[in-house]
Amino acid sequence: MLQPKGRVVMVSGANRGIGLAIAHGLLAKEYDLSLGVRDPDGMAETLTASPPQRLSIHAYDARRADAGAAWVAATLAQHGRIDALVNNAGIHRRTRLEDEDESGLDELWEVNVKAPLRVIRAALPHLRETGCGRVVNLASLAGKRVIGEAIGYTMSKYAVVALTHQVRRSGWDDGVRATAICPGFVNSDMAAALTEEPSENMTQPEDIAELVATAIALPNRASVAEMTVNWRYEVTL
């Protein structure tokens, strides 16, 4: 396993839910973090109390085309290196196949697909320099099978899985490894808006945080391309 001490991990969408759990988990394992969030002033006090050499917080709006490159530059200025990137920020919009209004689809594509692509593009040269760079993309089981009518979200998460495999292919010879984590419902605000399933039955944010830490720590010789994670049995998975 790769040792966390001194390794710098970028995490997007760390204000709450899964992203906040990832940040807490990685800090506890002694990684240094650069967090990209829409509202830096709204960060949890338990995180902002960390020493500045171990944690930096940066404004990051996934809807802005220049946000990824700016966040990478700020991370390098603060920490001097980038060892791993966790693309967690994402949105859900109700879009059906028959809907002619494509505004929701456009927003899903901008935030869920183009935003992580832009951050990866900016960070990749620095991930290559380490010889063991890591990219973890939070996808979804919606990127592995089609259930219901959320065609825009499903398309975006299929694209995130494809993006992950392209990163693996492009960065492999330089030690860059990429993993798509594909959960079903996770106890979060997003899931609460989509299902009446009791929150205690779902996968918990801390469970996903542990899987992210595992993907980052695995050595180059033990790369895992995808992790499918579910709280219930599905015959197709």
31 labelled catalytic: no
Radius of gyration of the chain (CA): 17
195 and 185 Cβ atoms separated by less than 8 Å? yes
19 and 13 Cβ atoms separated by less than 8 Å? yes
SS3 224: coil
Task: Give the bridge partners for 228, in sequence order.
Answer: 182
Query: Minimal CA–CA distance to 142: which of 174, 113, 178, 119?
Result: 113
Strands (DSSP E) contained in the chain are 8-12, 32-37, 55-59, 84-87, 134-138, 177-183, 226-229
Query: Minimal CA–CA distance to 1: which of 145, 194, 181, 132?
Result: 132
Task: Give the bridge partners for 203, in sequence order.
Answer: 186
Residue 9 to residue 36: CA distance in whole angstroms: 11
CA-angle at 161, arms to 80 and 227, nearest 5°: 85
User: Phi/psi of residue 58, each to 5°?
Assistant: -130, 145
Out of 60, 153, 158, 233, pick the active-site residue. Answer: 153
Residue 133 to residue 234: CA distance in whole angstroms: 33
Q: Are strands 55-59 and 32-37 parallel, antiparallel or unpaired?
A: parallel
Hey, which residues are catalytic here? 153
